[in-house]
Amino acid sequence: MKLLLEIQDQKAPFILELLKNFKYVKAKPLTPYYANVLEELKEAVENMNLVSEGKLAPRPVEDVLDEL
């Protein structure tokens, strides 16, 4: 099982050290870039679910392509 934790910066070293003491836990911090990518991906999936449920209007494909 994989978990994603959000920890205050000043507490992160303690939590990482604590997790490393468990032989069955592998812990490595995410770079700010990958943390941002995961947040954006999560938001995109949530928006897709809202569009599928009819709670959010889809964006025209031209608008999406213009962003690229």
* Nearest-angstrom CA–CA distance, 6 and 42: 14
Please tell me whether the overall predicted TM-score, pTM, comes out greater than 0.95 for this model. no
pLDDT surpasses 90 at 63: no
* Nearest-angstrom CA–CA distance, 62 and 49: 21
Q: Minimal CA–CA distance to 7: which of 21, 27, 37?
A: 27
Residues 6+ apart with CB under 8 A from 27: 16, 19, 20
Q: How confident is the model at residue 65 (pLDDT cuts 50, 70, 90)?
A: confident
pLDDT digits (tens, 9 = 90+) for 6-59: 899 999 999 999 999 999 999 888 898 998 999 999 999 999 999 999 999 988
The reported pLDDT for the residue numbered 51 is 92
